[in-house]
Structure 1
Amino acid sequence: MANSLDDVVSAALTVLDTHGLEFCSMRRVAAALDVQPSALYHHVSDKQTLLALMADRIVEGVGVADGGPPEKRAADVAHALRDAMLSVRDGADVVATASAFRLGVSRVEAELAVALDDRDGARTLLLFVFGHTQATQMHRLASGVGAIDPDPDLDESFDRGLAIVLRGLR
């Protein structure tokens, strides 16, 4: 049975979650699907395209709700985005990379820009969320293997930083 694009993205996310971004290669994704790497190129033109599709899948449930104060809507998106990225190993790296390369995740940024009526503010907010979430994932991975002590303040520091960014956007 032939694999679909959805199968390829799902396999890539499984490889990512198991091995991390550094070892998420087209060869490993192909092996997870029990196909030759060349078979993946029927669905995606290159690894960057696959990365964008992975990022889009990670954030697919994140969106700006209608109604309510823009600051509250932006805070809700920031938390939902952080949760989505933290749910997959190196998820923040994938989403931040795709966003930096303008490969994907533009839907969330566009929705935030409309909600805030501020394109630069939306981008700034996302960059804070990406950066803090990447640092959180890195810290949790290192503390999980005993390299460093756990930091019980990661969630609260996210909330404090988010409040600072949102105050600046007012």
Structure 2
Amino acid sequence: MRYRRDDVVARAIEVLDAHGLDALSMRRLAGDLGVQPGALYHHFTNKDALLAAIADEILRRGRRPAEIMAWDAEVQLLCLGLRDAMRRHRDGAVLIAQVNRADSEALERPLREAIERAGADADLARVGARALLRYVLAHEDVTDPDFARGLDLLLSGLRARLV
């Protein structure tokens, strides 16, 4: 049976949820799909490419609908959406942090753009977005009230700098 790229990624997420990131391998995934490991290389050049596709799909599933709102409400929604997406899957935060360690631009961009719309210069927007992203990635297991309070503290600091 031939599998589409989306089918492979969906099955990989199921393996991730069932067994964790350390147990996710091209060989295991191929076995679960009933194909030879080489068949997966038709869709992914290597395991890193597969992990990047899994992380992208987890984040895509976690996105919330865009609405017109105040910049700080948008940033809060983006942070909560990212956290929810990471928590929805076993080792989701580890995977997303690992894949985005070298290049976090895709995760930072929407945060940075929202902060810039509030009137921040490029430097403040970049540093603010990076601080928010690092907070979310590092605190996926913190209780909801503590996470929300920490996020509010970061947003309060940004608001004060924008006055």
Q: TM-score range by the shorter chain?
A: 0.7 to 0.9
CA apart distance, 1:106: 4.2
Amino acid at match of 2:76: A
CA apart distance, 1:116: 1.0
Equivalent residue, structure 2, for 1:147: none
Deviations 1:43-70 (A, max 9, x none): 0011111111111100104258342211
Take 1:32 and 1:106, find their aligned partners in 2: how far apart are those partners? Answer: 33
Q: Quote the sequence identity (%).
A: 43
What TM-score does the superposition give when structure 1 sets the normalisation length? 0.81
How do 1:1-170 and structure 2 match up within 5 A? 1-61=1-61, 62=63, 65-102=66-103, 106-117=105-116, 118-133=125-140, 136=141, 154-170=143-159
SS in structure 2 of the partner of residue 89 of structure 1? coil
Amino acid at match of 2:156: R
Where structure 1 has 5 or more consecutive residues not aligned to the other structure, the ranges are 137-152
CA apart distance, 1:75: 0.5
Where structure 2 has 5 or more consecutive residues not aligned to the other structure, the ranges are 117-124
Task: Report if the CA contact (8 A) 1:64-1:73 is conserved.
Answer: no
User: For residues 14 and 8 of structure 1, do their structure 2 counterparts lie closer, same or farther at Cα, with a shift above 3 Å needed?
Assistant: same
Take 1:87 and 1:63, find their aligned partners in 2: how far apart are those partners? Answer: 14
SS in structure 1 of the partner of residue 43 of structure 2? coil
Aligned length: 150
CA apart distance, 1:120: 2.3
What TM-score does the superposition give when structure 2 sets the normalisation length? 0.85
SS in structure 2 of the partner of residue 110 of structure 1? helix
User: Which piece of structure 1 moves more, 65-74 or 81-90?
Assistant: 65-74
Tell me the C-alpha RMSD between the 2 structures.
1.7
CA apart distance, 1:22: 0.9
